[in-house]
Amino acid sequence: MSERFFPDAMPSPMADNITLPWWQHAAEHRLVVQRCTACGATRIPPSPVCATCRSEESEWQEVTGRGEVYTFTAVHRAIAPDQPLPTVIAVISLEGSGGLRIMSNLVDVDPEKIEIGMPVEVVWEDMSEDLAVPRFRPASS
Amino acid sequence: MSRRAHIVGVGETQYARWGKITDTPEHTLAIRAILNAVDDAGLTIDDVDGMSSFAEDRNEAVFLAAELGLPTLRYANMVWLPGGGGGCAAVGNAAMAVETGQAEVVVVYRSLCQGQFFRFGNAGVDDWGAQTPTPTVTQAQNPMAASMGFAMPYGMLMAAAAYALPTRRHMHLYGTRPEHLGQLAVTFREHASRNPRAVMGHKPMNIDDYFASPMIADPHRLFDCCLESDGACAVVVTTEERARDLKAARVEILASEQGAPEGFAFGPFTNANVADEIYATGACEEMAGRLWGKAGLGPKDVDVAQIYDHFTGCVVMQLEDYGFCERGEGGPFIESGALAWDGGSLPTNTHGGSLSEAYIHGLNHVVEGVRSLRGESTSPVDNAEVCLVTSGACVPSSAVLLGRK
């Protein structure tokens, strides 16, 4: 198992048949975006058709896991027992994704030192054998 | 005779802190608010033939209509926009119903007992946080739940955290400061001090109190967050023709608009990919343009405003969206004292808003908009002729412009 940052009791994701493959890739520690094979536009969350060309055809494109902080908040109220506080929730601009962002947490960081634009990298947290959740920490270099 | 839609009655129940109304079901509160509003209009419940609400109201119109004894329910409508963004849209839908002849008298209502159901401020864990013995992906029953899948594993279940994200970015881009947010909260509390309905009316707050309140989700302190309330309110919409015969001063619905920008979905709560140009906004600018265009008015024509205040930062961004100041100038605009009832250039939330009167999903802002134009507000604005009322920003939203006739 990987390093743990949050307790088991954190809310687990819900998914339908369109978004489930994203979580299946995550379980293999692969951070992906959905790419339209007709026009090349990328999207997250996964959706049934490309909002640019309306094609249903798509593929999963792996990204580097590097990015930068777009915005963030340090949350001081727990929703799960033993949740570390403050919990930093951030929006991350993903390198090589065609301009996409995802929501995540920042870990291994002093909340007072977070700045918008700060470079970060993914760190996978295995919540169980079936579920891995991507968190981010300050980039190592 | 004209079928132009007018609001002819407003009413509410007592407003209370969440959990204070335990023995009266939500639908009973809805009924009391509706009867009060109908009475205020000088109508009887037998005149009502339409009902309109929003935000997945638990109190379905068909049951209320039966319980109230409506002779006929000709029109019943619920806004699809999630959450508090739909309050003004519910008024707009009532206006459409009477203007197209689908109904003659429509009541718009919202009843909310956060003590009897889940507390919004309690992160919605009861709704979304169902746990399996071992963490795993569970089935999403609809697109909203699937999109929540990209927020909830990170602990994003609380509105105070969700709308901290655009507000933080606004501070980064434009230098908006906590002092601006604090002045806004203090101003609305001062307005509430004259309002006997206001839950926080007897609790003065100054800027030191604001900075002493605990941090919830940075930059949101406790006093940046709306109240969690129990209560109900309602407004009555009918045609100009009917309104002419009624006792109350007529307030015309000059224009109403609703909607969401391209690709917006539920907004920054679950969508990290809200377009960069509108991320640090209330996402209402395009809709505001439609509203002004339809009414043939602009921000300079507004005498008093009731702006949806779930969180202070969302008010800052709406002030810019609706053109009361330039983009990024919301903070200095507040610093100028513009929002103050006494001497401000744009007296705003004269009832105290959701920050200090009550959180009835913003329908109480419509009620106050009507009172402010009738001269019945407890923080009256002399000779006010045009009032802007907005619904929740940073989500799909709606707004109405009201005019005194």
Residues B111/B69, Cβ–Cβ less than 8 Å:
no
Q: With contact defined as beta carbons under 8 Å apart, do B27 and B111 qualify?
A: yes
Of B354, B404, B14, B325, which is closest to residue B191 (Cα–Cα)?
Answer: B354
The mean pLDDT value for B192-199 works out to: 98
Does B46 lie at the interface with A, CB-CB under 8 angstroms? no
Alpha helix (H) ranges present in B193-258?
Answer: 207-212, 240-243
Among chain B residues, the shortest Cα distance to A18 is held by B146
Cα B39 from Cα B16, distance rounded (Å): 22
Determine, for residues A71 and B172 on separate chains, whether the beta-carbon distance falls below 8 Å: yes
- Indicate yes or no: CB of B125 within 8 angstroms of CB of A79: yes
Q: Is the pLDDT of residue B328 over 80?
A: yes
Whether B123 has its CB under 8 Å from any CB of chain A: the answer is yes
* Overall average pLDDT of the B130-155 stretch: 88
DSSP secondary structure of chain A = -----S-TTSPPPEE-TTTHHHHHHHHTT--EEEEETTT--EESS--SS-TTT----EEEEE--SEEEEEEEEEE-S-SSTT--SSEEEEEEEETTSSS-EEEEEE-SS-GGG--TT-EEEEEEEESSSS-EEEEEEE---
State the DSSP code for B214: P
Per-residue pLDDT at B134: 84
Split at pLDDT 50, 70, 90, the class of B166 is very high
Q: Which residue in B119, B128, B132, B137 has the most chain A C-beta atoms within 10 A of its own C-beta, making it the best mutation to test that interface?
A: B137
The pLDDT-based confidence of B46 (bands split at 50, 70, 90) is very high
- The pTM assigned to this predicted structure is 0.97
CA–CA dist B306, B349 (Å, integer): 5
In chain A, what percentage of residues exceed pLDDT 70? 99
**Which 3 state secondary structure label does DSSP give B309?**
coil
Residue of B nearest to A73 (CA): B218
Q: Which of A13, A15, A73 sits opposite B217 (nearest CB)?
A: A73
B positions 232-291 inside 8 Å of A (CB)? 263, 268, 270-273, 279-280
Give the gap in angstroms from C-alpha B169 to the nearest C-alpha of chain A: 6
Task: Output the six-digit token pair for B396.
Answer: 């799909």
Tokens of B349: 């939330």
Residues of chain B contacting residue A16, judged by C-beta atoms under 8 Å apart: 139-141, 143, 145-146
Minimum CA–CA partner of B159 in chain A: A75
- pLDDT digit string, tens, across residues B285-310: 999 999 999 999 999 999 999 999 99
Write out the E strands in B182-228.
Answer: 215-217, 220-221
CA B238 – CA B97 distance, rounded (Å):
9
Higher pLDDT, B130 or B151: B151
Q: Look at residue B49 and give its three-state secondary structure.
A: coil
Quick check: B123 and A77 CB within 8 A?
A: yes
Q: ipTM of this predicted complex?
A: 0.97
Task: Kindly report the number of other CB atoms within 10 A of residue B56's CB atom.
Answer: 11
Contact B210, B221 (CB under 8 A): yes
B150·A105 Cβ contact <8 A: no
Which site among A75, A106, A109, A110 would you substitute to test the B interface, given the most B Cβ atoms closer than 10 Å to its Cβ?
A75
Record: contact B218-A74, CB cut-off 8 A = yes
- What does the pLDDT read at residue B126? 56
Q: Are B89 and B237 in contact (CB under 8 A)?
A: no
Record: contact A45-B215, CB cut-off 8 A: no
Q: Indicate if B359 belongs to the active site.
A: yes
Q: What average pLDDT does the segment B21-45 reach?
A: 96
ω into A45 cis (within 30 of 0): yes
Q: What is residue B124's predicted lDDT score, i.e. its pLDDT?
A: 55
Q: How far is CA B190 from CA B11, B12, B199, B207, in A?
A: 23, 22, 13, 12
pLDDT at site B364: 98
The mean pLDDT of A66-77, rounded to a whole number, is 98
Give the separation between CA B378 and CA B190, rounded to whole angstroms.
11
Does A124 have pLDDT greater than 70?
Answer: yes
What pLDDT does B125 receive? 58
**CA dist B4 to B154, B237, B238, B242, B250, Å?**
48, 10, 8, 10, 11
Residue B123 zone, left/alpha/beta (φ > 0; ψ -120 to 50; rest): left
Secondary structure of residue B86 in the 3-state scheme: helix
Active site residue B75: no
Calpha distance B250→B328 (Å, rounded): 37
Q: Is the pLDDT of residue B82 over 90?
A: no
Please report, as a single letter, which amino acid is at residue B299.
P
CA dist., res. B16 & res. B22, Å (int):
11
| Range scoring the smallest mean pLDDT among A2-6, A91-95, B126-130 | B126-130
> For position B378, what pLDDT does the model report?
98
**Touching check for B343 and chain A: CB below 8 Å?**
no
Closest CA to A65 of A97, A109, A25, A99: A97
**pLDDT band of A49, cuts 50, 70, 90:** very high
pLDDT at B347 over 60: yes
* Mean pLDDT on B366-386: 97
Residue B352: closest CA among B385, B313, B309, B302: B309
Sheet holding A32-36, edge to edge: A42-43, A32-36, A58-62
Does residue B177 have a pLDDT over 80? yes
Mean pLDDT of chain B: 95
Reply yes or no on whether the pLDDT at B76 is more than 70: yes
Q: What percent of chain B has pLDDT over 90?
A: 88
